[in-house]
């Protein structure tokens, strides 16, 4: 049996840096795992709180719907139906009377070019968002002033985007180009 005495024939292995790096990586991974577990548990707890809050809101919503159904049932009774219809009619009339025609024409005059004529305005409609929808017919000798009118309507803070519905060229009875235009009007009630 031979005993090796020379260390150069069997060099010393450097395992210590590899072991230290492995231990450091294991510690870092263990800390990341602990952080992930903490985040999962806290998210689960907040989700549980959110579910409880949503259930509370749903129960309140069901109670509100039940109350609304009872009120609607009371309003639908024959003796109350007449009052409800009259109330709706009066509210509609008051809403329509709240449109100031003087202010409407003054605002239209401020954006209308001189060579554009206002031929017709249909009864304004009030939308569900409490906006006034104007449906009007305008005319001019040339289409260019009408295009300028549409640009001014859209640039004005009182009017919304204008929508052109139809165009009629001049005829023997009507010597003007006629455009039917709809626009939202922001009159305050």
pTM: 0.50
Q: Is the pLDDT of residue 99 over 80?
A: no
List Cα–Cα distances, 124 to 1, 7, 87, 116, 149, in angstroms: 115, 105, 21, 20, 19
Q: Is the pLDDT of residue 186 over 90?
A: no
d(Cα 137, Cα 114) in Å, to the nearest integer? Answer: 16
Q: Is the pLDDT of residue 183 over 90?
A: no
Domain covering 99-185 in this structure, CATH number: 3.30.70.2830
pLDDT band at 112 (very low <50, low <70, confident <90, very high): confident
Which residues have CB under 8 Å from 179's CB, separation 6+? 137, 138, 139, 146, 164, 166, 167, 168
Number of separate helices (H) and strands (E) present in the chain: 4, 5
pLDDT band at 81 (very low <50, low <70, confident <90, very high): confident
Residue tagged 């548990």 (tokens): 41
Tokens standing for residue 106 = 């003054």
Across 58-64, average pLDDT: 96
- What local confidence, expressed as pLDDT, does residue 188 receive? 58
Q: Where are the domains of the chain?
A: 15-76, 99-185
């Amino acid at each position: 049996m031979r005993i090796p005495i020379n260390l150069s024939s069997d060099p010393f292995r450097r395992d210590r840096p590899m072991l230290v790096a492995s231990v450091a990586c294991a510690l870092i991974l263990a800390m990341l795992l602990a952080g992930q577990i903490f985040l999962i548990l806290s998210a689960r707890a907040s989700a549980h709180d959110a579910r409880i809050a949503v259930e509370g809101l749903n129960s309140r919503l069901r109670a509100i719907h039940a109350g609304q159904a009872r009120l609607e049932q009371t309003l639908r009774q024959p003796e109350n139906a007449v009052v409800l219809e009259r109330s709706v009619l009066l509210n509609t009339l008051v809403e329509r009377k709240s449109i100031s025609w003087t202010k409407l024409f003054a605002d239209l005059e401020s954006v209308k070019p001189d060579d554009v004529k206002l031929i017709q305005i249909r009864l304004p409609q009030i939308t569900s968002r409490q906006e006034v929808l104007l449906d009007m017919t305008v005319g001019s000798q040339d289409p260019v002033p009408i295009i300028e009118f549409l640009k001014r309507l859209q640039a004005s803070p009182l009017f919304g985007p204008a929508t052109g519905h139809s165009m009629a060229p001049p005829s023997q009875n009507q010597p003007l180009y006629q455009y039917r235009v709809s626009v939202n009007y922001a009159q305050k009630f």
